[in-house]
Amino acid sequence: MNIEQEQFRVGVIQPIELFKETWQLIKDEYWLIFAITLLGMVVASLVPIVLIGPMMCGIYMALLAKIDGGKADLQLLFKGFDRFLPSLLLTIIIVGPFFVMLLGIYIPMVVMALAGERMSQEELLIFIGILIAVELVLGIIMVGLHSLLIFAYPLIAEHKLTAMQAIRLSSRASWQNLGGITGLIAVAFGLTILGYLMLCVGIYLVLPLIMAATAVAYRKVFPLETQRFGESVSSFGR
């Protein structure tokens, strides 16, 4: 079967219940999943952009192995390099608009700094208002892009899709589950804020839960073939 033609599930993401379910699934191996997630982020930071994709794929491989009834395995983290090229291209596509957003913010700020003394107070207020509006629009675009591509990395990890195949399929599935995806991101954002409030250390503690919840959402939308017949077999943990 062509994975792009597969009929994904719709209306199966209930954000609060999903996070509760996720915690029940991972709590017995939480510290191992914490180590896998943290190590993946550290390795990804060594060569930004280049290593983000393989590490994201590796993290999702480990999480899906756990979710599908197996065990989280640290070795699966580095199997993400088997998906190096498509995950790299996906990262470039995702990160590109982020750099555009940064330029859209910092170039006007430089212009304002250079021309600040020659601008009247009224002109300065108008300039600041436009800058805030641009930041808001770019921020909305980035959130929208992230929402549509939320399943792209796990699709590459599980099905070895190309970057464009993963983008198309993730976009279709996310759009038809937009309410659930929006709620998922909102709860994740709330947990992130809570993590920052815990002297910023808490962010590292909630990150594995957020990543695992995304993987659980993915599995609900894209179930294993065997799950449709009442079975559960990990495609990574064999």
pLDDT at residue 1, as a whole number: 43
- What lies within 8 Å, CB to CB, of 32 at 6+ separation is 72, 74
How does 170-208 read in b/e, with b if 16+ C-beta sit within 10 Å? bbebbeebeebbebbbebbeebeeebeeeeeebbeebbb
pLDDT at residue 20, as a whole number: 96
Residue 67: domain span = 13-223
CA neighbours closer than 13 Å in the CB half-sphere of residue 37: 21
Contact 226, 232 (CB under 8 A): yes
Q: Does 2 reside within a domain?
A: no
How many domains does the structure of the chain reveal?
1
Q: Which two tokens stand for residue 173?
A: 């599935």
Q: Does 230 reside within a domain?
A: no
Output the CA torsion 111→113→119→123 (10° steps): 70
Tell me how far CA of residue 108 lies from CA of 104, 119, 198, 199, in angstroms.
Answer: 7, 14, 34, 32
Contact 214, 185 (CB under 8 A): no
pLDDT at residue 197, as a whole number: 86
Q: Does 3 reside within a domain?
A: no
Q: Does 233 reside within a domain?
A: no
pLDDT at residue 230, as a whole number: 41
Q: Does 235 reside within a domain?
A: no
Q: Does 104 reside within a domain?
A: yes
pLDDT at residue 88, as a whole number: 96
pLDDT at residue 231, as a whole number: 41
10-residue averages of pLDDT along the chain (238 residues) = 66 96 96 96 93 97 96 94 96 82 67 64 73 75 85 96 95 94 94 86 91 97 66 47
Q: Does 1 reside within a domain?
A: no
pLDDT at residue 236, as a whole number: 57
What does pTM read for this prediction?
0.81
pLDDT at residue 229, as a whole number: 39
pLDDT at residue 50, as a whole number: 95
- What lies within 8 Å, CB to CB, of 206 at 6+ separation is 191, 192, 194, 195
Tokens 């599995």 -> residue = 219
Tell me how far CA of residue 181 lies from CA of 84, 91, 147, 149, 185, in angstroms.
Answer: 26, 20, 7, 11, 6
pLDDT at residue 142, as a whole number: 75
Tokens 């794929």 -> residue = 57
pLDDT at residue 16, as a whole number: 96
DSSP 8-class letter at 27 = G
Angle, vertex CA 68, rays to CA 62 and CA 72, nearest 5: 30
Comparing C-alpha atoms, which of 234, 238, 184 is closest to residue 211? 184
